[in-house]
Structure 1
C-alpha cells in the first residue's frame, strides 16, 4: 500500500474501503513502508485493519531516513532500525510485524549488525521474520553469508520490467527466499486504462520522466504488451490487470504479487487473478513480447 505521488484525488475512505474489499476477497498480505507518504500509508493501513489484525500478514520496511524538508538518505544503523520499528508499530496500531524488510542497503552498516539488531527485535516479539528489498547482484554475495536468516526479498518485476529476473532467480533458488514483486502492474500501465495520449497531473509521480513506463519508446513498447494482454483477458473473461498478476504467479513459482490499490474497484479488478491460470501458450506469448 503506497500513499505518495498518486495525485490529489486519493481519499482515505477510498483507501480503507479498498483494503476491506481486498480482505473480503481473500487477500491476507499487506505491504507498506515507513517512507510511503512519510508514514501516512502505515497510518491508513492501521485504520483499515483495525479489528482484523488476526486475519492478516503485515509487512513493512525500514532503512530510508526521510523527513519533510530534509535530505533523504539510506540508514541501516541499529539506532535507526530500533527507532523505525517503534514508529511503524505505533502507526500501524499493532504490537508486532509479521515481516520487517530492509528497504535499501546503505553503504556503511555491516550486514552482521543489521541481522543482530533484527534478531534482537525478534526476541522482543516486535517482528516475526525479516526480509530484503531491492537487492541486486553486488549485494548477493554478502547475503549468502547469512543464508537462513532472511525469508524473503522484494524487487520490481512485471511484464513491463523484467530486468531483475536473473537476480530474482538466484535469490529465490540458491538462497531459498520467497520472491515478492513490487510494481507488478507497471505503475498502472498494465491495467489497460492508459494510452499514448494520457496526461497525468503534475502531482502524480508518473508525470515525471523517471517513471519510464509512461514515456517515450518504453511507453510504446508497454502498450504493445497491453494489446496482447487485452486479447488474453477477453478470452478468459477477466480484467487486464488480472492477466498481469496471473503472469507473475504462473511464471515465477511461489511468488507473492504486490499490487497497489487506491479504490475498491481496483481491488476487485486485481482479485480477478484468483481461481484460474494462463495456458502455456499464453505464457509464451507474454514472455516473448515482454523481453
Structure 2
C-alpha cells in the first residue's frame, strides 16, 4: 500500500481510501451488513487505514456500520466524515451554521462510537454561512478534542478567493474525478496548488462503470439502485456509450499489466493527480481486493497518455 501525509497535518493515510456511501445501504441495491463489515476488515488487512463516510449516508447508518466494523481497530485508522447536509421535512438542505456543525459533530461521534474524528469535512457549502464562521466553529471542535483536522468537499475555482485567508487551516478537499468525469480537473489542480490541500477523489470508479463489468445490455438497474436514475449520467445515453469506449481502452491496458480494469481506473488517478488519495466504495470483500490492486505500481508514460486522450 502507498501512503501520504495530508498537508498541514500529521495524518498519514493510505492513498486508497474506503468510501462509506455503500454502508448507508440506501440506493445501493442488495447490501448486507455482514459483508460490509467483512469488507472493512479486508481493507484493514490490505493496509488501508483511511475510511471516509458522511452523516447523510443512509441517514447515519454508514457511520454506525463503520464504527461497528472498526471496533478496537479504530485507534489504528484515520476516520473521515462530513457534515452540512440535512433532511428537513423530507427535503435536502445544506447547512453550515455553527449551531448545526456542533450538533452534527456530536451526533457523528455517537454513531461512530468514537470520542474523536480525525478529519471532519464540509460536505457542501450552503452559500449562506461565511467561511470565517465555519472555520471558527471547527476550531472550537478542535479545542474540545472532538476533531483533529478539517477539510472541504465539492468546492471549485470560484471558492478559492474566499478560502485564501485560511490557507493552512484545511488539510484536504474532495471532488468527483475519474476517467469518466474529468470536468473538475482544472479546478482540482488550482485548489491543490493555491489552498495547499491534498485532493481526494470521489466517484473514482464512475459509480462502477469503470470496473469493466458493464455493457450497454446489462445496465438496467432495479429501482432500489441509484444508478437507475438519469442523474447518474455514467449509465445513460451518449455518456454511457463514451464510457464504454474508455473501458475498452482500459481493458487493453489492464491485460498488459495483468490487473483488473478497476485497478487501471484507480492507478490513473494516483499517477495523474499528485499527492492524491482515491475514494472507492465497496459492498463486498472481493471488491476491496480488486481496488487494492490499484496500489503499488505505475502506469508508464505512454499508457497514461493513452488513457488521458481516450477520456477527453
TM-score, L = length of structure 2: 0.91
Aligned to 1:54: 75
Structure 1 residue 275 displacement after superposition: 1.9
The answer on 1:181 being equivalent to 2:201 is: yes
Q: Deviations over 1:136-158 (max 9, x none)?
A: 12212111121111111000000
Kept in 1, the 8 Å contact 2:55–2:108? The answer is yes
Match for residue 103 of structure 2? 83
Contact kept in structure 1, 2:122 and 2:152, CA below 8 Å: yes
Paired residue secondary structure (2:108): helix
- What are the Cα deviations for residues 236-291 of structure 1, in whole angstroms up to 9, with x where unaligned? 11111011000000001100100010000100000111221111111000000001
1:246 aligned partner: 267
Kept after mapping to 2: 8 A contact 1:61/1:101: yes
- SS, match of residue 199 in structure 2: strand
Distance 1:157 1:8 in 2: 23
> Hey, what's the Cα distance between the residues in 2 that align with 1:231 and 1:36?
35
Please state whether the residue corresponding to 1:50 is helix, strand or coil. helix
- 1:66 Cα deviation from its structure 2 partner: 1.9
Report the counterpart of residue 63 of structure 1 in structure 2: 84
The alpha-carbon deviation at position 38 of structure 1 amounts to: 0.4
Cα distance, 1:4–1:139 mapped onto 2, change above 3 Å: farther
Please give the alpha-carbon distance, in whole angstroms, between the structure 2 residues aligned to 1:20 and 1:138: 40
1:209 to 197, 216, 230: 230
Q: Is the 8 A contact 2:81 2:121 kept in 1?
A: yes
Cα distance in 1 for partners of 2:257, 2:26 equals 33
Number of equivalences: 290
The CA distance in 1 between the partners of 2:267 and 2:194, in whole Å, is 24
Q: Does 1:149 align with 2:169?
A: yes
**In the aligned structure 1, how far is the partner of 2:188 from the partner of 2:134?**
22
The Cα offsets for residues 45-73 of structure 1, whole Å up to 9 and x where unpaired, read as 00110010121100000001125x52110
SS in 1 for 2:214: coil
Tell me the secondary structure at the aligned position of residue 174 of structure 1.
helix
Gaps (5+ residues) in structure 2?
A: 1-19
Q: Which 4+ residue blocks in structure 1 deviate beyond 3 angstroms?
A: 4-8
RMSD of aligned Cα (Å) = 1.0
Once the two structures are TM-superposed, the CA of residue 4 in structure 1 deviates from its matched residue by 4.2
- Please give the alpha-carbon distance, in whole angstroms, between the structure 2 residues aligned to 1:159 and 1:256: 15
2:49–2:76: 8 Å Cα contact kept in structure 1? yes
Task: Tell me if the contact between 1:195 and 1:223 (Cα under 8 Å) persists in the aligned partners.
Answer: yes
Match of 1:237 in 2: 258
For residue 101 of structure 1, the aligned residue among 104, 121, 125 is: 121
Deviation of 1:212 (Å): 0.2
Q: Compute the displacement of 1:5 (Å).
A: 4.1
SS of residue in 1 equivalent to 2:71: coil
2:75 pairs with 1:37: no
2:196 partner SS: coil
Contact 1:7 1:201 in 2 (8 A): no
